[in-house]
Chains A and B, each alone.
Chain A
Amino acid sequence: MTDATSTILETKNLTKQFGKLTAVDDVDFTVEKNETVGLIGPNGAGKTTFQSLITGEYEVTDGSIIYDGEDITDTEPYQRARKGIIKKFQVTRVYGEETLVENLRMAIRGRNASTLALLRSHDDSDIDDRIHELLEIGNLDHKAEALTKNLSHGEQQWLEILMAVSAEPELLLLDEPTSGMGPQETNETVELLENIKERTNTTMLVVEHDMDFIRKVSNKLTVLHHGAVLAQGTVEEVQNDDKVEEVYLGRD
């Protein structure tokens, strides 16, 4: 399924402490280009915190983050996004007071625009075709000019995935993309991600609780437990791991 050629993300001894709580504990982790890695674990395992360290939302307590060969441990979040690390949040973070088209414009323009270029830019018609193509992928083209706050939960989730994809990420972080969805919407999300993968071959790091979903979209899994790596490998390897069975999959 993947055509891994080189490492895009590597963490070395990555640690995050909140007071006395160690949310991420000495994690060594790699993601190869073009693969889709699932990050799983029980509630409170540190999955979302791990992703937030990658994006720069949280400062690292110890360890380092290497992205595409460059140490980005102390880099500002917006600079990481410009380098190609884009995140879709668990609880949707779309711009409710804007239309779907404006949301996508916001996402598309972010990575490549200096403040002065943004000030000078008064015409976005050059990206209209791309926006409508994206909306078609998500079956949202009929709501292009609706205010985002009026969309259903599932539609907002898809819009945010499309926004993240529209920014042309090199590394797409998806935090529970099926959160709050029913089986039908979850299946449609699998199709959407497969569609995106087929078109863009984007590297993805997916945090998810739904094991059926993660099996369908990932080809490699990492299991976190109490902030530390419990197991890593292919989906089959991780599924057959006794420790994983005991702390996580056994309860599924």
Chain B
Amino acid sequence: MSVAAKVNRFTGSPALVGKLLGLVVLLGIPVLFPPSDVTTWTVYVAFAILAVSIDLVWGYTGLLTLGHAAFFGAGAYFAAKALPGYPGIPDVLVLFVLVPIFCGLLALAIGWFLFSANVTGSYFAITTLIVAIVFEQIAGEFVSFLGGFNGLYNIPNMEIVGFELETIPLYYFTLFLLIGFFLLSQWIVNSAFGRQLRGIRQDMERTALFGYNTELARLLVFTLSGAMAGIAGGMYATINNFVSPPLLGFVLSTQVVIWVAVGGRGTLTGAVLGAVLIQFLNSTLSEVLLNYWNIALAIIFILVVLVAPRGIVGLLEDATTKLRKRRGSGSGLANQSQVSGGKQND
């Protein structure tokens, strides 16, 4: 392949260009911002992992979860208790083995209850929302063990083979995790299993009547997503050094759902973009707009629902398609909004 052809191929894939641009921006954060802001960006990235986990369940499988922060918060509290409490256990083991097992089992138990009882649609959303409320209440009530409404303080930074990860290394480590989960999720959604998830989202009964075990698929993706959210929560605990009950609650859960919707539900890029962008706008614009920021966010969400149900990524895709049509470049690609190559490359 000639260099020109390679360049053409590269620029012919706006999604790939967008992803790489986003990656470059995220890699450049420690250069673009002062160290005091890098920790804030590390939190954004941890929440982006939570957004990806929600997108797997909601965006791809169609299960609107309004309680996913329960797993995020459970991971955060588990890490908050285990990291300082058991110095002999390596942090990596706590954060990447024990936390996902704990949160995965929680998700498995809740998912098994919901899916075996065939709880779907709005009932699924309401039940998961109640789970988050209950988890938040539990964290608030157990003062001696979980710190009550004051939460848990002085959670240490994570260590890897004796090296404590501070501001910038911790940022890159969290970003590395986000990239890892992004690629893992991409691998899942591009598999035949991912096609099954999209089938469940569009018509679960139809999918089962082709021979797919839709209950097992939902349970698997919910459990995996819970474990992923738990790891994000564990990272949050070690980034922020403090956890409190709202981390488990429905407010955070619904906020992240909104981020995913604004970014582009059913696209992993959209989940990351929505999470990072809205958190960034939240911290910058809330200083200017004060309490009006929440109203602005609500308006943005309503606009997305009404005008751009496929979120920012959907808008960008449509704009790219129009641009290509206008340029008349590649008749096969001109109908991109009408056709799909089969795989969900995102």
A105 close to B (CB within 8 Å): yes
Asked, given contacts A97-B202, A105-B342, whether A81 binds B209 with beta carbons under 8 Å apart, the answer is yes
Q: Give chain B's interface residue range (CB within 8 Å of chain A).
A: 20 to 34
**How near does chain B come to A151, taking the closest CB pair, in angstroms?**
11
A122 touches B214 (CB 8 A): no
A78 touches B198 (CB 8 A): no
| Contact mask for chain B residues 186-229; partner A; CB cutoff 8 A; 1 contact, 0 none | 01101111011011001101111111111011001000000000
Asked, given contacts A118-B193, A124-B192, whether A111 binds B340 with beta carbons under 8 Å apart, the answer is no
B117 close to A (CB within 8 Å): no
A95 touches B198 (CB 8 A): yes
Asked, given contacts A93-B203, A145-B339, whether A86 binds B210 with beta carbons under 8 Å apart, the answer is yes
A113 touches B192 (CB 8 A): yes
B195 touches A105 (CB 8 A): yes
Tell me how many residues of A have a C-beta within 8 Å of chain B: 40
B291 close to A (CB within 8 Å): no
B-side interface mostly: helix
Q: Which residues of B sit under 8 angstroms from A77, Cβ to Cβ?
A: 205, 208-209
B211 touches A121 (CB 8 A): no
A102 close to B (CB within 8 Å): yes
| Contact mask for chain A residues 150-183; partner B; CB cutoff 8 A; 1 contact, 0 none | 1000000000000100010000000000000000
CA–CA, A50 to B318, complex, Å? 45
A101 close to B (CB within 8 Å): yes
A67 close to B (CB within 8 Å): no
Which A74-98 residues sit within 8 Å CB-CB of chain B?
76-78, 81-82, 86-87, 89, 93, 95-98
Asked, given contacts A97-B198, A119-B191, A121-B192, whether A111 binds B211 with beta carbons under 8 Å apart, the answer is yes
CA–CA, A86 to B211, complex, Å? 9
A44 close to B (CB within 8 Å): no
Q: Which residues of B sit under 8 angstroms from A113, Cβ to Cβ?
A: 192, 211-212
B2 close to A (CB within 8 Å): no
